[in-house]
Structure formats: structure tokens, C-alpha cells
Amino acid sequence: MDIHIKRIYEEPAKDDGYRLLVDRLWPRGMKKEDAHIDEWDKEIGPSTELRKWFGHEPPKYPEFKKRYTKELQAMPDHLDHIKALARKHRVTLLYGAKDEEHNQAVVLREVLLEKA
């Protein structure tokens, strides 16, 4: 499976393939016409409770990863949908967070590739 991650604020590229936004909230300051997304899966983003608890604080990331992985395991249809797309062509998971190492797209990609 060909799954990549990218900040939605980066310039879209032809090799992004299928651009899938995986944030529950629309990224601040991003105009919808500038996002160039193919799909927005709000449900696959971390729950509001988990997102607020994490607050993008790197020391909380290991626990965030554990909790978010548990949330993802309860969404097999969403995971299967992304896997099916990734079997056909490249999928780029888009996220809005500034931290490129500690965010939900990183966790989601790991979960998708782990169960491939």
C-alpha cells in the first residue's frame, strides 16, 4: 500500500495521489478551494475529547497514540476504505497540525500499514 502523510498547508503535488483530510476540524486559515482534497473523513480524526486532552503536547504523544489507536480499531469500515484506496493508488493523508512527528496522521498511517 502506498500511504503518505503531508501537512495540508503544503503545496499540492501531482504525486500526492488521492488527497484525504483526516482532521475532525477544518484546518484553520485554509480555504476549501485551496485544499485540493478528494475526501474529508471527519470521523477518522481523534475524538474531540482526545484531541483536547492531547493539545499537541509531545510528552503526551505515547498515551495519545495508544488511545487514538484504540479509537481507530472501533472504525474498521473507515480503515478498510482507506486501505482499498491505497491498494489502487497513492493516498496522502492530510493534517493541519504544525508538529510533523506527533499527530494523528502519523498514528493512522502506522495503523493502516501495520494491518496491511
Tell me the C-alpha distance between 7 and 46, whole Å: 16
Tell me the C-alpha distance between 6 and 82, whole Å: 16
Cβ count near 85 (within 10 Å): 19
Mean of pLDDT values over 66-78: 96
Give tens-digit pLDDT for 1-25. Answer: 899 999 999 999 999 999 999 999 9
**Contact call for residues 40 and 81 (beta carbons, < 8 A):** no
Mean of pLDDT values over 103-112: 96
pLDDT of residue 1: 85
Question: Largest alpha-carbon pair distance within the chain?
Answer: 36
